[in-house]
Amino acid sequence: METLRFSLDPGEHDRITMVLKAVFGVVCIAAAIITLIVMAGSGHLNLNSVAAIAFIGLFGIWLLATGLGLTERYVTVSGDTIVLKDRAYAPSMIIRSSDLREIGFSQLKITFRLKTEKVIALRLGTYYRENSFRLMEAVEQFCSSNGILTTGINTDAEDPENEN
């Protein structure tokens, strides 16, 4: 099975956008540092200024991390592993086929049930409509090639109402 990567982000991730986010992140961080130094030196630093400087600095850090691709959310399906990064702030999870008990499919969610009784839910939502169907097909192919039990799927032979 070839490696397939599906983005879970609704936004654009082209090179120009990523570079601009990184540049603006550095500008925000630099502006926060310069403003902090200037205001501290002049004695006009108060709680409101510190809050504004902290906001600009944290926003700059977030933009820089986004521009570097550290907050990208994705699912990668390959031969015997699924790499899942569904939260921007959390590290990616590697799910091996040998660790899976079953995979459940529903309209807006894929549920991975591990042999350790841990359940990992990937909520697709309405933001990823163009990728949801292709992602579910890839995970279904992953299940069939690795002999993993699936629930919630009706194949053409099982569904008498399907006209295809």
Tokens representing 153 are 């799927």
- DSSP sequence for 38-96: HHHHHT---HHHHHHHHHHHHHHHHHHHHHTTTT--EEEE-SSEEEEE-STTS--EEEE
CA distance 1 to 106: 24
Looking at residue 107, its pLDDT comes to 80
47 vs 153: which has the higher pLDDT = 47
Q: How far apart are CA 129 and CA 133, in angstroms?
A: 7
Angle between the N-to-C axes of helices 47-67 and 15-42, in degrees from 0 to 180, rounded to the nearest 10: 160
Domain boundaries in the chain? 10-67, 74-151
Amino acid code (one letter) for 93? M
- Residue 6, pLDDT score: 84
Least confident window among 52-66, 75-89, 93-107, 142-156 = 142-156
Nearest Cα to Cα of residue 29 among 54, 68, 60:
60
Over residues 102-160, the pLDDT tens digits come to: 999 888 888 999 999 899 988 886 665 667 888 888 898 998 898 888 888 665 545 44
In the predicted structure, residue 94 carries a pLDDT above the cut 60: yes
- Strands 149-151, 100-105: pairing is parallel
Question: Mapping DSSP to helix (H, G, I), strand (E, B) and coil, where does residue 147 land?
Answer: coil
The more confidently predicted of residues 129 and 94 is 94
pLDDT at res. 43: 85
More confident residue, 26 or 129: 26
Q: Taking the mean position of all CA atoms in its chain, how far away is CA 110?
A: 14
Task: Tell me if the pTM is above 0.75.
Answer: no
**Number of CB atoms found within 10 A of residue 7's CB:** 16
Kindly state the tokens that stand for 14: 């082209």
**What's the CATH number for 74-151?**
2.30.29.30
